[in-house]
């Protein structure tokens, strides 16, 4: 991942904006629970992502903004991702986790949204210096101060030893932990992903839990083949391309090689996620997680992608719950 000098990750701003947009949904059954995201991003931040439709959708009426297929699909995806991680965070804290580590924290707000549940717990937010400095400024503007239960640690996942970064911030490997690694692994080389996962496995207490999202190799192949997909206008052209996907149909083996046990996978594109997270109070569905296919040759593009999906049996893009044996 490469940013300009002192520039925060633009994809982290996009993610926060999508959560903020989803938090405006009138139906609480399908509303993004991140009520703080809107307060952490400013017009200056939105100007950094002006090419992305969420930059204008966030300034429009909610229903008008959802007329953009790309905005609707991506905000739905962020709803699933946010609620999945939130659910597992609450479960871990109720089952004895005393530390929460957010790797590649971006504008993650869980340390502040769940402040009561995190009483007497420690949260470590780990991220690149430029993104973290902006986040800290925004927190002071919104909250008045940086909460005492949160410790910030700077890292470059490609270069730094994660265990040293965490220990320097006060992390205790003997305590049961809950770790979040959201929106990072697909941007890193495989060696950096494996190194991070092995570090978590080797320096976390047994019973600790990691929740992360991941791309399948088939997804990376699709991005390399379909260069007209809108995602390339943002991730790739912003210097933040998706480059790593787990071997298709070998996810369990991959994680086990890194010292972790795969407990649960939630695929964004299958019925379970849609039924669980995208069902309105009246039983209707909020909408599709697939959007943003260019109008030109849209049918053939979608047909080829769908064929690839069913022939590879890949997760494409999914969430995983992992435990430290």
Instruction: List the domain boundaries for the chain.
Output: 10-323
Domain 10-323: state its class.
alpha beta
> Does pTM top 0.85 for this prediction?
yes
**C-alpha dist (Å) from residue 139 to 5, 33, 113, 146, 151:** 22, 18, 12, 7, 13
Assess contact for 13 and 50: CB atoms under 8 A. no
- How far, in Å, CA of 102 to CA of 113, rounded? 14
Closest CA relative to residue 238, chosen from 21, 20, 51, 69: 51
Those residues with Cβ within 8 angstroms of residue 284's Cβ, 6 or more apart along the chain or in another chain: none
- Residue 91: how many CA atoms within 13 Å on its side-chain side? 13
Angle between helix 69-94 and helix 10-22 axes, rounded to 10 deg: 90
In terms of DSSP bridges, do strands 261-267 and 317-323 run parallel, antiparallel, or are they unpaired? antiparallel
Closest CA relative to residue 16, chosen from 90, 103, 81, 60: 81
Per-residue pLDDT of the chain (325 residues; tens, 9 = 90+): 445 446 788 999 999 999 999 999 999 999 999 999 999 999 999 999 999 999 999 999 999 999 998 999 999 999 999 999 999 999 999 999 999 999 999 999 999 999 999 999 999 999 999 999 999 999 999 999 999 999 999 998 888 899 999 999 999 999 999 999 999 999 999 999 999 999 999 999 999 999 999 999 988 988 888 777 777 778 888 889 999 999 988 999 999 999 999 999 999 878 889 999 999 999 999 976 654 444 444 445 555 555 555 555 678 899 999 999 9
């Amino acid at each position: 991942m490469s940013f300009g000098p002192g520039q925060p990750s633009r994809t982290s701003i996009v993610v926060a904006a999508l959560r903020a947009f989803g938090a405006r949904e009138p139906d609480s059954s399908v509303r993004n629970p991140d009520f703080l995201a809107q307060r952490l991003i400013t017009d200056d931040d939105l100007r950094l992502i002006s090419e992305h439709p969420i930059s204008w959708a966030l300034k429009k009426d909610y229903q008008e903004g959802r007329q953009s297929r790309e905005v609707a699909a991506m905000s739905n995806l962020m709803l699933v991702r946010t609620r999945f991680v939130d659910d597992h965070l609450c479960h871990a804290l109720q089952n004895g986790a005393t530390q929460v580590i957010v790797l590649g924290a971006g504008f993650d707000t869980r340390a502040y949204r769940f402040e009561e549940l995190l009483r007497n717990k420690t949260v470590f937010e780990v991220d690149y210096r430029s993104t973290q400095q902006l986040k800290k400024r925004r927190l002071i503007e919104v909250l008045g101060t940086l909460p005492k239960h949160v410790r910030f640690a700077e890292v470059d996942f490609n270069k730094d030893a994660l265990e040293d970064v965490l220990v320097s911030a006060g992390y205790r490997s003997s305590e049961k932990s809950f770790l979040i690694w959201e929106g990072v692994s697909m941007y890193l080389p495989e060696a950096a992903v494996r190194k991070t996962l092995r570090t978590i496995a080797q320096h976390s207490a047994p019973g600790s839990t990691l929740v992360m999202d991941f791309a399948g190799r088939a997804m990376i192949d699709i991005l390399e083949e379909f260069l007209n997909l809108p995602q390339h206008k943002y991730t790739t052209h912003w210097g933040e391309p998706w480059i790593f996907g787990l071997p298709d149909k070998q996810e369990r083996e991959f994680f086990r090689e890194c010292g972790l046990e795969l407990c649960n996978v939630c695929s964004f594109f299958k019925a379970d996620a849609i039924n669980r997270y995208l069902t309105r109070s009246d039983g209707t569905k909020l909408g599709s997680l697939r959007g943003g296919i260019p109008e030109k040759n849209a049918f053939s593009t979608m047909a080829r992608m769908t064929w690839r999906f069913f022939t590879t049996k890949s997760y494409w893009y999914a969430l995983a719950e992992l435990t430290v044996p």
